[in-house]
Amino acid sequence: MEKFTPSELCADIKIYDYKKKVKYDEKSLVIFEKTGKMITAGKECEGMLYTLPADSIGFSPIVLGRVSDYTCAEKMLKQMLCRYLGKPVFAGYGEGLIFVHEKLNEVEMKAYFDLLYQAGAKNVVYADESVKGIPEGTPWEDVIWGMKNTYKNLRFAVEITKEQPMDYLRYSLAQLAENCKRWGLEEEMSKLHI
C-alpha cells in the first residue's frame, strides 16, 4: 500500500474561543519521546516530523475524523486548550461543543465526549452536519459560532474536520485496493473505474 504521512492523514482541528471570539487552526499531530513524554502537539509538529531524533516518534491521534489513539489525543487536546484558553479554573473550562464532520457511531462519539471532559470541559455538547434548521450553503464556521445562540453557556468549541479531504480519499481508496487484494477481488476492483 502507498505510504501516507501523518500530515496527510491527520484531522484538522479548529478551536473556537467564544469569550474572545477568536478561532485557532491546529493539526492532529503529536511528537512523543519513546519514554512516553509529549514533546509538542499541533501544527508546529509538521516541520519537525521529518527531522525527528531517533528517540522520538510523530503521528496523528485523530485519523479520518476518528480517535485512533485515545491517550495521545487527550494529551494533545489538553495542551491545545491550555495554549488557547489558558489554564483551566477549578471547574474546568466550562461548557464545550464538539463538532465532527465525519459520520460516527455511538462508541466513536463517546470517545469525543470523554476527550473533552478529560481535557477540562465541565459539560459537552455534540453536533455534526445533521444540525437541523441550518440554511443550505451556510459555512460551517458560521454554524459553530452561531451555536452560542442555542447553548448560552458555551465557552469553547472544537471542530474536527479535514481541509484537504483528497488525502482521506486517496487513503480510503488505497485501503480498499489492499482489502480487495486480500479478498482476491482485484478483478472486481478494476471494474469499478475508480
| Residues found in the chain | 194
DSSP letters along 125-166, please? EEEETT-TTPPTT--HHHHHHHHHHHSTTEEEEEEEE-S-HH
Domain architecture of the chain: domains with CATH: 10-162 (3.30.420.40)
**Which residues, other chains included, contact 115 with Cβ-Cβ below 8 Å and sequence gap of 6+?**
67, 70, 73, 74, 77, 98
Which 3 state secondary structure label does DSSP give 16?
Answer: strand
Residue 1 has a pLDDT of: 59
What percentage of the chain's residues is helix, strand, coil (to nearest 5)? 40, 30, 30
Confidence of residue 97 (pLDDT cuts 50, 70, 90): very high
Separation CA 49–CA 41 (nearest Å): 11
Residue 12 has pLDDT above 90, yes or no: yes
Separation CA 97–CA 20 (nearest Å): 16
pTM over 0.85: yes
Q: Phi first, then psi: what are they for 152, rounded to 5°?
A: -60, -30
Confidence of residue 46 (pLDDT cuts 50, 70, 90): confident
106-119 and 70-85 helices, crossing angle to 10°:
40
Q: Give residue-wise pLDDT tens across range 114-169.
A: 999 999 899 999 998 888 778 888 899 999 999 999 999 999 999 999 988 888 88
